[in-house]
Amino acid sequence: MEAIAITRHIRQSPRKMRLVLDDVRGVKVDRAMNYLHFSKAKAAYQIEKTLSSAVANLMNKSDEENISTKDIYIKECFANGAPHMKRFRAASMGRISKLNKKSSHLTIVVSTEDN
């Protein structure tokens, strides 16, 4: 059984999110939550919230079954780009320089061991 959780418009670049996602991809949920909770990366907080939402979605989906968190693993997780916030900064000689403040969409899919 699978469940999915999506967090949209996170104010962090997808590249920085992917660095943390590479460490938890394919890992059991207990170990991933422990890693994310004690990680110093800014992205770990948003990933932990989305992962707990995906686990809750899986628990709600399977009301009649008794699923332990030890049997759940992260099947798929990825961060895609979202719209940029376009800003400008003063540059030398009266010019401006363009800043793109990136944001991302985070998707996490969890599954039970029997799949």
**What's 32's domain CATH number?**
3.90.470.10
- Report pLDDT digits (tens) over 38-55: 999 999 999 999 999 999
Q: What is the DSSP string of 33-67?
A: HHHHHH---HHHHHHHHHHHHHHHHHHHHTSSS--
Report how many domains make up the chain. 1
* Pairwise CA distance, residues 31 & 54, whole Å: 15
The reported pLDDT for the residue numbered 88 is: 96
DSSP state letter for 27: -
What is the torsion angle, in degrees rounded to the nearest 10, for the CA atoms of residue 36, residue 38, residue 40 and residue 46? 30
- Could you report the average pLDDT of every consecutive run of 10 residues in the chain (115 residues)? 96 97 95 96 97 95 82 95 96 95 97 77
Domain that holds residue 52: 2-112
Q: Given the structure tokens 């403040």, which residue do they identify?
A: 101
The reported pLDDT for the residue numbered 70 is: 87
The reported pLDDT for the residue numbered 111 is: 95
